[in-house]
């Protein structure tokens, strides 16, 4: 392992760009640094459901020489790649003699740092009962048989019994610990025979936020009508309005305790197998405490403004890096460009791209075994903003020994691979103990794509488009916004000119939005706007651009349209609005005025030009139609 005269802890943690794992890694790093230990983080970003990709990520388990580690920390519940945990544990069983600590999940053969899921929600449940006087409490659990969720549900039942509150099974719903089942839970409770709950307690924040959103969609105010709480304190729980009451996972403290246990064992002290770290309960506005809506909204605006700015910078930086690495054919070109980008990233102090000597000749599906002392080549490296190339070293050292410092070393290791073909790995040391991991995965993908040179844009573009999509989408309806129209509309025009194709431009205004807002509140107005958006999305089945242009205005742009196709689109659209109106779910109906036009653009045509014809027809319809109510049978 490292040759700087210090002992080394190996930490196996996946998804290091998530909130919990970032905080856990920070706790491990802080305590190890204080106690003069090195830390080697072995990380991966699997779990995409792509077997070939996961096969490449799983090989992180083969990277370290387990016999040279002086302690091992496992965060197994962060590992989404099937089989990864078992491979690591097999290596530990056959090659390691050091103490092993499991984080957040009890494993009988190891030491463990845990939270007590039998008590994690106890303070919240008591708070609802004793402070707010609630007796009608619903519980959204995780899947049946999931240990953590079962314990949290048992805690709920135990405390209700303690306060002589009847346990009504209809008030319990088994969810998924994610965002899919929240709406179904609300449907189940709202259609049930029991009275409206005073509070809904959820086994984690993801489900709680989904339930909160569904309640708001139904016009049920939080916390005025129903209070709500979660567990885990993810970042969105504080930014949601109203902010979510929850239990905060003590990730930093768990990381510190894991290091402390290893060091106490190495020093010969007797150590309890299990350590429990207490969670912190955070009371916020969703339960009716510390309610300051204006303050929260202002904080939320500032927070998301910072996010948008950060995302713009990251998208631009990663897009430039991807474009710059596209099409290169030699390692010398990769080395030159990587030095430039590492030099610009002030978050790195050290960066080493370490490749197998035969990385170019290994074929996909070809199995090979690596020996700890095999020779590696550090093809491209930067230390303290000084560049280095082509240094050979033994893999059991992880990095070239000549670059090690006489201080505790904290490195993150991640594999470079295309699907199941492994090229090697990167070793990165960050400037601060609190790591900046947001772009770590994008970096790995950029470098892997450059090495593979066939799939340059495959993975990075998906991430870039996802980040860009957040910027060009309307928050309420999910349709594109003005920025999306400006960006995608020009691309559509270029495609139409290149293909000599006809563009359909459809515009629609939601009728009497002010009337709906005045009589049914802005919640009603939002429901109406979302009904139009949903109808457009359902009707658009050929890669059309659907846009909420602003206020009550909507635009759809479609490629390769004729009149028959336009009428087919409009019939579906009006039909969907009729279905909404006939459902009887709302006290108001939703109608629109619309217009459309077909344009054969040339290179001088602009998006604004295309909108003119459709707008004229829409305003003509508004003028001619006394009721402004459109029916499907009007379109024949």
pLDDT in tens, 566-579: 999 999 999 999 99
300 neighbors 241 (Cβ within 8 angstroms): yes
Write the DSSP symbol of residue 128. Answer: I
pLDDT of residue 459: 39
Q: What residues contact residue 493 under an 8 Å CB cut-off, 6+ apart?
A: 503, 601, 605, 606, 607, 610
Predicted confidence (pLDDT) per residue in 396-452, tens digit? 899 999 999 899 999 999 999 888 888 899 999 987 765 555 667 777 778 888 888
Residue 592 pLDDT > 60: yes
Cβ density class 432-463: b for 16+ within 10 Å, e for less: eeebebebbbbbbbbbbbbbbeeebeebbbeb
Cα–Cα distance measured from residue 581 to residue 575, given in angstroms and rounded to the nearest whole number: 10
Cα–Cα distance measured from residue 568 to residue 566, given in angstroms and rounded to the nearest whole number: 5
Secondary structure of 474-489 in HEC code, one letter for each residue? CCCCCCECHHHHHHHH
Report the percentage of the chain scoring pLDDT > 90.
Answer: 50
Cα–Cα distance measured from residue 594 to residue 615, given in angstroms and rounded to the nearest whole number: 8
Q: What is the mean pLDDT of residues 521-537?
A: 95
pLDDT of residue 635: 45
Cα torsion 397, 399, 401, 407: sign: negative
Tokens of residue 385, six digits: 């903003």
Tokens of residue 156, six digits: 């709920």
Residue 630 pLDDT > 50: no
- Higher pLDDT: 139 or 337? It is 139
- Higher pLDDT: 625 or 133? It is 133
pLDDT of residue 47: 53
Tell me the CB-side half-sphere exposure of residue 43, using CA atoms within 13 A: 23
Residue 554 pLDDT > 60: yes
pLDDT of residue 78: 84
Q: What is the mean pLDDT of residues 462-486?
A: 78
Task: Provide the mean pLDDT of the chain.
Answer: 85
pTM: 0.64
Residue 455 pLDDT > 50: no
- Higher pLDDT: 239 or 2? It is 2
Residue 341 pLDDT > 60: yes
Domains assigned to the chain:
1-112+252-272+327-455 (3.40.50.2300), 122-248+283-300 (3.40.50.2300), 472-634 (3.30.70.270)
Q: Of 10, 14, 33, whose CA–CA distance to 99 is shortest?
A: 10
pLDDT of residue 415: 92
Q: What is the mean pLDDT of residues 483-496?
A: 85
Q: What is the mean pLDDT of residues 197-214?
A: 94
pLDDT of residue 419: 80
- Classified as helix, coil or strand, 20 is helix
Per-residue pLDDT band for 119 (boundaries 50, 70, 90) equals: very high
Q: What residues contact residue 14 under an 8 Å CB cut-off, 6+ apart?
A: 21, 43, 44, 45, 46, 47, 75, 78, 79, 80, 81, 84
Report the percentage of the chain scoring pLDDT > 70.
Answer: 86
Cα–Cα distance measured from residue 555 to residue 594, given in angstroms and rounded to the nearest whole number: 9
pLDDT of residue 372: 67
pLDDT of residue 289: 86
* CA distance from start to end of the chain: 77
Q: Of 12, 45, 51, 46, whose CA–CA distance to 420 is shortest?
A: 51
pLDDT of residue 293: 45
Cα–Cα distance measured from residue 48 to residue 539, given in angstroms and rounded to the nearest whole number: 30
Tokens of residue 357, six digits: 């000597």
Burial of 73: CB neighbours in 10 Å, binned 0-12, 13-18, 19+:
buried
Q: Which helix (H) or strand (E) holds 316?
A: helix 293-325
User: In 405-512, where does DSSP find H-type helix?
Assistant: 440-452, 458-471, 482-499
| Residue corresponding to tokens 């768990």 | 254
From 383-397, 423-437, 502-516, 528-542, the region with the lowest mean pLDDT:
423-437
pLDDT of residue 284: 92
From 351-355, 455-459, 476-480, the region with the lowest mean pLDDT:
455-459
Q: What is the mean pLDDT of residues 478-482?
A: 91
Cα–Cα distance measured from residue 47 to residue 142, given in angstroms and rounded to the nearest whole number: 20
Per-residue pLDDT band for 30 (boundaries 50, 70, 90) equals: very high
From 411-415, 551-555, 616-620, 624-628, the region with the lowest mean pLDDT:
624-628
- Classified as helix, coil or strand, 575 is helix
From 264-268, 295-299, 345-349, the region with the lowest mean pLDDT:
295-299
507 neighbors 558 (Cβ within 8 angstroms): no
| Residue corresponding to tokens 């459901």 | 49
Residue 319 pLDDT > 90: no
Cα–Cα distance measured from residue 70 to residue 68, given in angstroms and rounded to the nearest whole number: 7
pLDDT of residue 480: 92
Tokens of residue 352, six digits: 């080493």
Cα–Cα distance measured from residue 170 to residue 138, given in angstroms and rounded to the nearest whole number: 8
- Higher pLDDT: 369 or 402? It is 402
- Classified as helix, coil or strand, 23 is helix
Q: What is the mean pLDDT of residues 148-165?
A: 94
Strands (E) in 467-570, as ranges, are: 503-510, 545-550, 553-559
Most confident of 91-105, 460-474, 603-617: 91-105
Sheet of 421-430, strand order: 274-276, 111-114, 100-103, 71-74, 8-12, 38-42, 410-418, 421-430, 348-356, 375-383, 386-394
Q: What is the mean pLDDT of residues 124-137?
A: 96
pLDDT of residue 458: 33
From 130-139, 211-220, 493-502, the region with the lowest mean pLDDT:
493-502
Cβ density class 570-596: b for 16+ within 10 Å, e for less: bbbbbbbbbebbeeeebeebbbbbbbb
């Amino acid at each position: 392992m490292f040759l700087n005269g210090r002992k080394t802890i190996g930490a196996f943690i996946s998804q290091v760009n998530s909130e919990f794992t970032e905080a856990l890694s920070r706790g491990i790093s802080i305590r190890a640094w204080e106690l003069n230990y090195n830390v080697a983080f072995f990380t991966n970003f699997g779990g995409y459901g792509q077997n070939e990709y996961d096969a490449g990520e799983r090989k992180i388990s083969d990277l370290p020489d387990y016999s040279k580690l002086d302690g091992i920390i496992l965060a197994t519940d962060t590992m989404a790649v099937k089989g990864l945990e078992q491979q690591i544990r097999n290596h530990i069983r056959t090659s390691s003699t050091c103490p092993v600590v499991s984080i957040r999940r009890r494993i009988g053969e190891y030491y463990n740092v845990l939270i007590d899921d039998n008590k994690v929600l106890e303070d919240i449940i008591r708070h609802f009962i004793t402070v707010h006087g609630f007796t009608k409490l619903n519980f959204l659990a995780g899947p049946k048989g999931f240990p953590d969720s079962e314990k949290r549900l048992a805690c709920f039942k135990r405390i209700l019994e303690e306060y002589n509150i009847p346990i009504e099974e209809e008030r319990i719903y088994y969810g998924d610990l994610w965002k899919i089942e929240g709406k179904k839970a609300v449907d189940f409770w709202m259609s049930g025979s029991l009275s409206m709950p005073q509070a809904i307690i959820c086994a984690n924040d993801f489900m709680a936020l989904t339930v909160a959103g569904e309640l708001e969609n139904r016009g049920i105010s939080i916390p005025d009508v129903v209070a709500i709480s979660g567990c885990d304190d993810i970042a969105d729980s504080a930014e949601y309005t109203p902010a979510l009451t929850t239990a905060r996972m003590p990730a930093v403290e768990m990381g510190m305790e894991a290091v402390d246990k290893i060091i106490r064992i190495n020093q010969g002290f007797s150590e309890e197998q299990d350590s429990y770290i207490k969670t912190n309960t955070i009371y916020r506005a969703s339960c009716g405490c510390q309610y300051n809506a204006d303050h929260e909204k202002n904080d939320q605006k500032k927070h998301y403004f910072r996010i948008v700015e950060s995302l713009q910078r990251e998208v631009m930086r990663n897009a430039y890096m991807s474009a710059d690495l596209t099409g290169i054919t030699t390692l010398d070109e990769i080395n030159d460009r990587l030095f430039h980008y590492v030099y610009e990233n002030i978050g790195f102090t050290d960066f080493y791209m370490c490749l197998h000597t035969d990385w170019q000749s290994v074929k996909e599906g070809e199995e090979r075994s690596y020996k700890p002392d095999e020779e590696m080549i550090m093809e491209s490296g930067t230390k303290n903003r000084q560049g280095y190339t082509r240094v050979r070293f033994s893999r059991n050292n992880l990095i070239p020994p000549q670059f090690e410092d006489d201080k505790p070393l904290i490195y993150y290791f991640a594999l470079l691979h295309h699907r199941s073909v492994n090229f090697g790995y990167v070793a990165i040391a960050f400037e601060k103990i609190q790591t900046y991991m947001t772009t770590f995965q994008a970096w790995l993908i950029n470098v892997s794509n450059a090495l593979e040179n066939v799939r340059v844009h495959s993975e990075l573009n998906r991430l870039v488009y996802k980040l860009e999509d957040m910027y060009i989408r309307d928050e309420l309806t999910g349709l594109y916004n003005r920025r999306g129209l400006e960006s995608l509309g020009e691309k559509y025009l270029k495609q139409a000119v290149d293909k000599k194709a006809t563009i359909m431009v459809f515009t629609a205004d939601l009728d009497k939005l002010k009337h709906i807002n005045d009589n049914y509140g802005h919640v009603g107005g939002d429901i109406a706007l979302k009904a139009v958006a949903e109808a457009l999305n359902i009707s658009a089945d050929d890669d059309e651009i659907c846009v909420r242009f602003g206020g009550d205005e909507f635009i759809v742009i479609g490629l390769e349209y004729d009149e028959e196709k336009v009428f087919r689109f409009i019939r579906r659209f009006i039909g969907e609005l009729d279905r909404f109106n006939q459902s009887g779910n709302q006290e108001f109906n939703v109608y629109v005025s619309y217009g459309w036009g077909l344009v054969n653009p040339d290179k001088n045509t602009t998006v604004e030009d295309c909108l003119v014809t459709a707008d004229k027809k829409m305003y003509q319809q508004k003028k001619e139609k006394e009721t402004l109510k459109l029916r499907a049978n009007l379109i024949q």
